[in-house]
Amino acid sequence: MGSSRRVRPVQALLMHLLIAVIIIWCLAPFYWTVITSLKQANAIYYSPTTYLPNPVDLASWIKVVNLPRFQGALLNSTIIASSVTVVSLTLGSLCAYAIARLRFPGKNIVLALVLAVSMFPGIAIISPLYLQFRDWELINNKLALILPGVTFTLPVCIWTLTAFFRDLPRELEEAAYVDGASRIQTFTQVIGPLAAPGVFTTAILLFIASWNEFLFARTFMSKVEELTAPVAVAQFEGADIAAVTPWGEISAAAIATTIPLVILVLVFQRRIVAGLTAGAVKG
């Protein structure tokens, strides 16, 4: 909208100022955590604090990265988030295709169910799930996080994919039918490849959502070696038993668990924004 009008210099200056403020506001806490993680152990406890790490010291990083329980937590999170993403995408894409393209009775009931789950507070079902998983001996088993992970990522998955499927041209499917392809062939061979970008975008959103899951992860995993990355960071009190809280190591741990997400954001920023808004804002 703004580009077509004449922009006065004062306005332009104000805009640039605002842009700078937004960028600084968003990155400042992140930046500060990086700075803290790079300070010498005792420099963290200076009061007033210093704005820059002088000298830069990688000790906190070396300690955290070499901690077996921390490596394990990153691995656990990767396994769980990937499994949730794959299963949720599989179930979700079938359901989204049916919603976007096929006529069937009860479609609104399905949509209402999906909507209800998206608003579900995890806390509402934590007690029965805990008792159930305890009886099934799933406590400290990754399945205890994958099962609810799939259910709670399904709404986002279904909405985003439905929006993507609707944007695909209908003629291609009709052409496939005319050529004698079955419904399943049409779905896997015509729609599948066309929807690949949308599916990929959705996969990123699902991966981030399940990587960040905290409530179930904290409740269903008690063994140190089964913790996920967010829980490990939440409970992290340093590599050694120390008299003072090791903020440097905590900062390094916080940044380390965030690196996969930051990489995803840097590489796929456009897709993430498209996917994030596709399901929520209807065109």
Residues of span 4-43 touching other proteins by CB under 8 A: 4-5, 15, 18-19, 22-23, 25-27, 29-30, 32-33, 36
Q: Which is nearer to other proteins, 94 or 175 (CB)?
A: 94
Q: Which amino acid is at 3?
A: S
The minimum distance between CB 219 and other proteins, in angstroms, equals 7
The minimum distance between CB 241 and other proteins, in angstroms, equals 19
> For residue 138, what are the contacts with CB-CB under 8 A and spacing of at least 6?
144, 220
Which pair of tokens denotes residue 50?
């210093």
Q: Kindly state whether residue 45 participates in binding other proteins, applying the rule CB under 8 A.
A: yes
Q: Which is nearer to other proteins, 104 or 240 (CB)?
A: 104
- Per CB under 8 A, the segment of 52-60, 66-74, 191-199, 257-265 that binds other proteins is 257-265
Residues 67-126, interacting with other proteins (CB under 8 A)? 90-92, 94-95, 97-100, 102-108, 110-117, 119-126
Residues 214/234, Cβ–Cβ less than 8 Å: yes
Tell me which of 10, 51, 180, 240 binds other proteins, using CB under 8 A.
Answer: 51
Residues 158-177, interacting with other proteins (CB under 8 A)? 158-159, 162, 166
Tell me which of 138, 154, 176, 190 binds other proteins, using CB under 8 A.
Answer: 154
The CA distance from 237 to 200, in Å, is 37
How big is the site for other proteins, counted in residues (CB under 8 A)?
A: 109
The minimum distance between CB 193 and other proteins, in angstroms, equals 18
The minimum distance between CB 68 and other proteins, in angstroms, equals 20
Residues 180-239, interacting with other proteins (CB under 8 A)? 183, 208, 211-212, 214-215, 219, 229-231, 233-234, 236
Residues 121-150, interacting with other proteins (CB under 8 A)? 121-132, 147-148, 150
